[in-house]
Amino acid sequence: MNTLRYIIQPVSAELEQVERNLSVQISRIADGHAVTNTYSRLADRVVGHLFKTHGKRLRPLLFLLSARSAGVGSLKGTDALIQVGTSVELIHSASLIHDDVIDEATFRRDRVSVNERYGNKIAVLAGDILYTQFYSLVSTLADLPAEVRLRLLELFTTVTRRMCFGEIYEERMRRQRKPPEFEDYLDTIDNKTASLMAVCCEAGGVVAGAPEETVETLRLYGYHLGMAYQLLDDLDDGDAVYPDNSRIGESAARHVRSAMETAAELPENEATTRLRAIVDAVGGARIPLAASQTA
C-alpha cells in the first residue's frame, strides 16, 4: 500500500463522503439566490471551477483523523463530521482562489486559475461565496451542541484573519530588496499555512468532545505539520521569499533523523507499526536530499 493510502485508511469512508458532499454543496451554492437569473449559471460555474480538478483534501483529512484519534463517540452515525470536513475544504478553497489573485497565478492544480479564466473581480467574489458557505454549513449543524458550533465559528474566524495577516507579511517580504530574516519567514508561514492546519486538527478534538489537553496536542501536531508542509512547498517551488535553503535543509535533516530515532524507540503496538512505516517512508525519501545539502 502506498504511504498516503496507509495514512488515509482509518477515515477513507468519511473522506469519500466529504468528497460527495463537496459536490452537493457546490451545486447548491446558488440555492435561494437569483435562481431564475440567467447570470446565476455563470456564478455556479465560477464557484465550481476550482473543484473540476481534485485537490489533496489534506485539511478535511487532518480534521477527520484528529476527530477519529480523539474518539468520535456520540457523533457516530451523525453527519456532523462530514459537514465540518466539507466546510474546512471550502475555507481552504476560498483562500486558494484569493491567493491566486494576489500571486497573479495563471494555473492551479494543472488547470487555468479562476482569476485567469474569469478575471480578478469575479475571482475575489467567488472566493467570498465559498467562504460564506463555511458559515452556513457550520452554523446550521443540528448534530452539534450550540457551544461546539460557536467554538468552531470562533476558531475558523480567527484563523482566517491570521491567514490574511500571513499574506500581508509575505507581500511585505516580497517588496523588500533583501531576503527576510528567518524568524520573520517562519512567522509568515505559521500565519498563512500552519495556522489553518493547526485549527483543522484542533477542531477534530473539539468536535469529538476530547479533553482540552488532547485538543491542544492535536493543535500542536497540525501546527508542526503545517510548518513542515510550507517549508517543503517553498523549497520545491524555489520560492523567492525563501531565506536560506542550506540552513533549512540542515535543520530538516536533523528533525527527520530525530523523528526516525524516536519512532524506533516506541513500544510495539499496531499504532506504532503504522507510525514507523509512515515516518520511514517520508524520512527515507527526504533524508538524502537534506543530508546532501549539509555536506
Binding site for ligand FPP (CB under 6 A): 91, 94-95, 98-99, 102-103, 127, 131, 160, 163-164, 167, 192-193, 237
Q: Where does this chain touch Mg ion (CB under 5 A) — which range of 95-103, 158-166, 222-230, 272-280? A: 95-103
- Between 44 and 83, how does the x/- string for binding to Mg ion read (CB under 5 A)? ----------------------------------------
57 binds, among Mg ion, ligand FPP, none (CB under 5 to 8 A by kind): none
Minimum distance of ligand FPP from residue 106's CB (angstroms)? 11
- Between 144 and 173, how does the x/- string for binding to Mg ion read (CB under 5 A)? ------------------------------
17/95 with CB nearer Mg ion: 95
33/174 with CB nearer Mg ion: 174
Count CB neighbours of 118 within 10 A. Answer: 17
Residues 1-20 that bind Mg ion (CB under 5 A): none
Count CB neighbours of 121 within 10 A. Answer: 10
Minimum distance of Mg ion from residue 108's CB (angstroms)? 8
* 72 CB-contact burial (10 Å; exposed 0-12 / middle 13-18 / buried 19+): buried
CB 126 within 8 A of CB 47: yes
Q: Is 103 in the site for Mg ion (CB under 5 A)?
A: yes
164 binds, among ligand FPP, Mg ion, none (CB under 5 to 8 A by kind): ligand FPP
Q: Is 99 in the site for Mg ion (CB under 5 A)?
A: yes
CB 96 within 8 A of CB 132: no
94 binds, among Mg ion, ligand FPP, none (CB under 5 to 8 A by kind): ligand FPP
95 binds, among ligand FPP, Mg ion, none (CB under 5 to 8 A by kind): ligand FPP
75/124 with CB nearer ligand FPP: 124
Count CB neighbours of 157 within 10 A. Answer: 11
What burial letters (b/e) apply to 125-147, b meaning 16+ CB within 10 Å? Answer: ebbebbbebbbebbeebebbeee
* 208 CB-contact burial (10 Å; exposed 0-12 / middle 13-18 / buried 19+): buried
Q: Where does this chain touch Mg ion (CB under 5 A) — which range of 42-50, 91-99, 188-196, 269-277? A: 91-99
Count CB neighbours of 35 within 10 A. Answer: 9
Minimum distance of Mg ion from residue 102's CB (angstroms)? 7
Q: Where does this chain touch Mg ion (CB under 5 A) — which range of 8-16, 45-53, 103-111, 266-274? A: 103-111
168 binds, among ligand FPP, Mg ion, none (CB under 5 to 8 A by kind): none
Count CB neighbours of 149 within 10 A. Answer: 19
Q: Which residues contact 164 (CB under 8 A, 6 or more apart)?
A: none
Minimum distance of ligand FPP from residue 264's CB (angstroms)? 33
* Residues at the contact surface with Mg ion, assessed by CB under 5 A: 99, 103
